[in-house]
Amino acid sequence: MPPRVLITETLASVAADWLVQHADVVRCAYDDAGLDGPLAEAEGLVVRTYTVVDEAFLDRAPKLKVVGRAGVGLDNIDLEACGRRGVRVVHTPDANTQAVVEYVLALMLDHYRPRTDLPPGADADTFHGLRKTEVGTQLDQLTLGIVGFGRIGKRLGGAAHAIGMNLKVCDLLPEAELRKAVDYPFDYAGHETLYAHSDVVSIHVDGRASNRHMLDAEALKHLRDDCLFINAARGMLVEGDALAGWARSHTDAQIILDVHDPEPPPTGYVLSGLPNVRLLPHIASRTGQAMENMSWVVRDVVAVLEGEEPGSPAV
């Protein structure tokens, strides 16, 4: 009998169809009341963002051998608990890098290069009025501060350098190691220096517990008054109340959040309704290619179930 693999969230059809050829596939949503039955028989599990694989979840999956996270971050999976039980965890660490980089660049251009379509039947005054008022700022006049210089941070830096932006970089790794990894110049800086001297700050750090609320009131006070702050990484990196207060007192700043804590944002979300805060529905990685790339985690799931070493193991 082929191994039983449970899918709890959406996968690209090409990868899901491939998995059907290699396993006995069962689909059941992570929040379905009938999940316990399929989970009890599952040897493999494929998840995305919202299936939380913790001790309690693993207690319901006694036959589980491998968890495949169709994505990059592993915040929703308790790696230590999986390790203790001998459950392998695999993911797709480079699947959405290009998608996120393009998205962040698009957000910067949205902000600095405003562009309004001519309305139907626009007269000469409207035409010339828009030409006078829609005067943007070139990105090559700006400094981009990248907090977290991993896969996404490095590729974002390369794209921004190609456009002509100045770069400041902050990371846990030593400067020499980071410089060996790229072929373009950047200023290596601490958090406070980066915040104070960057026109744009984009966050790209992981979801380890020590990074929770790394952008708190103390950190935010170092940002420039007219900063463009972008978080397309993880909602938990920013302390919401502190960011809302900073936004209210820095009306020349612009904040763009693609990720939130929690998700979806609740009714009465402290950052809703602020004129200089743009909220987006966690879509940085939502390109067809990136979603297909992430879905191919199924190859590593099958590899583990067939006794082979996976290409991208986390545990």
Sheet arrangement for strand 4-7: 24-27, 4-7, 44-47, 66-69, 88-90
Task: Identify the pLDDT of residue 20.
Answer: 97
97-284 adopts what CATH topology? Rossmann fold (3.40.50)
Class of 4-95+289-305 per CATH?
alpha beta
Give CA–CA dist 173/152, Å, rounded: 15
**Which of the residues 102, 192, 282, 292 is marked catalytic?**
282
One fold for both 4-95+289-305 and 97-284?
A: yes
Please say whether the beta carbons of 298 and 100 come within 8 A.
no
- Gyration radius from the chain CA atoms: 22
CB 297 within 8 A of CB 68: yes
Question: Are 44 and 5 in contact, with CB atoms under 8 Å apart?
Answer: yes
**Which string of b and e fits 276-300 if b means at least 16 CB within 10 Å?**
ebbbeeeebbebeebbbbbbbbbbb
Element (H, E) at 27: strand 24-27
What is the pLDDT at residue 283? 97
Assess whether 197 carries a catalytic annotation.
Answer: no
Please tell me which residue in 48, 151, 234, 250 is annotated as part of the active site.
Answer: 234
pTM of the complete model = 0.92
Report the Cα 280 to chain-centroid distance in Å: 12
Residue of 80, 263, 306, 308 marked active site: 263
Give the N- to C-terminal CA distance of the chain in Å, as an integer. Answer: 26
Do β-strands 24-27 and 4-7 pair in parallel, antiparallel, or remain unpaired? parallel
Q: Which residues of the chain have pLDDT under 50?
A: none
Tell me if 205 sits within 8 A of 148, measured CB to CB: yes
**Residue 157 in contact with residue 215, Cβ under 8 Å?**
no
CA separation for the pair 177, 35 (Å, rounded): 45
3-class DSSP state of 47: strand
292 is annotated as an active-site residue: no
The Cα–Cα gap between 233 and 10 comes to 21
Both tokens assigned to 52: 């939380």
Q: What is the pLDDT of residue 1?
A: 87
Q: Is 84 marked active-site?
A: no
- The domain locations on the chain are 4-95+289-305, 97-284
18-32 burial: b if 16+ Cβ within 10 Å, else e: bbeebbbbeebebee
104: left (phi over 0), alpha (psi -120 to 50) or beta: alpha
Task: Say which DSSP state 277 is in.
Answer: E
